[in-house]
Amino acid sequence: MIKIFKTIKKPLFLFLFIISISLNVGSKNIVEIIKEDSELSVFYSHLKKTGLDEILQKNLPWKWTIFAPTNKAFEATPERVKKEILSNDLYNKNIIMDHMLTGQKTSLNVGEEISVEVTVSDKALPIYKRGSLFVKDMIVIKENSESENGTVHKINCIMYVQPSVDDSRLTDIEKKDFPITSCCMRSNEEINEWIKATKLKL
């Protein structure tokens, strides 16, 4: 009898250990996941500055997906973005919302076909999985950091999320106003177009 108990004891302990780990997975909220990642400290500071961190911690009936630019992404961004967008409260909030989706998208529920999602800032954002997870044409450098209320994916640039000629929701007249389809906000033309569109919306 003792021998049988010892034989059962090891797999039973292992089973209980695995269950206890699984219960703790995702026990942190999405803001805590971002806050505790040293590579996302600048992004976290912008969440705090804009007050979006408070919204992300509310008990809401949906989960979030966040494409979080790394510290390197913020360092590499043009000075104009830092001075004219990230230093402006309204623009800063809008560009952070460009990186947020309501609804959880992970590499497990995104297929090879392009899925066009809508950001919290109401812009079209193409996502697909072909080996790696892509947002627009950028490879996500770290996928699926899970929390109790959503998923964080790390990216290495501040996205240029903008209506474009490829956005099927726009009329032909509107498409002429948004000819750029690039991924990262780098050029003066991209910055000008983003500011123009955001001003119209505000």
**Domain of 168, in residue numbers:** 49-201
> Which one-letter amino acid corresponds to residue 185?
M
Report the run of H or E that residue 23 belongs to, with start and end: helix 2-24
pLDDT at 16 over 50: no
What is the model's pLDDT at position 6?
A: 47
Q: Is residue 30 part of a domain?
A: no
Tell me the pLDDT tens digit for each residue of 146-161: 999 999 999 999 999 8
Output the pLDDT for position 174. 59
Determine the Cα–Cα distance for residues 46 and 110; give it in Å rounded to an integer: 28
58 pLDDT above the threshold of 70: yes
Which CATH number is 136's domain given?
2.30.180.10
DSSP string, 114-171: -EEEEBTTS-EEEEEEESEEEETTEEPSEEEEEETTEEEEEESS-B-----TT-TTS-
* Residue 22 covered by a domain: no
Residue 155 resides in a domain: yes
- Would 17 be classed as within a structural domain? no
Cβ proximity of 133 and 110 under 8 Å: yes
In a domain, 123, yes or no: yes
Number of domains in the chain: 1
- Report the pLDDT value the prediction gives residue 18, as an integer from 0 to 100: 41
Q: What per-residue string of b and e applies to 127-136 under the rule 16 or more CB within 10 Å gives b?
A: bbbeeebbbb
Per-residue pLDDT reduced to its tens digit, 110-144:
999 988 899 999 988 989 999 999 998 789 999 99
Domain assignment present for residue 139? The answer is yes
Residue 1 lies in a domain: no
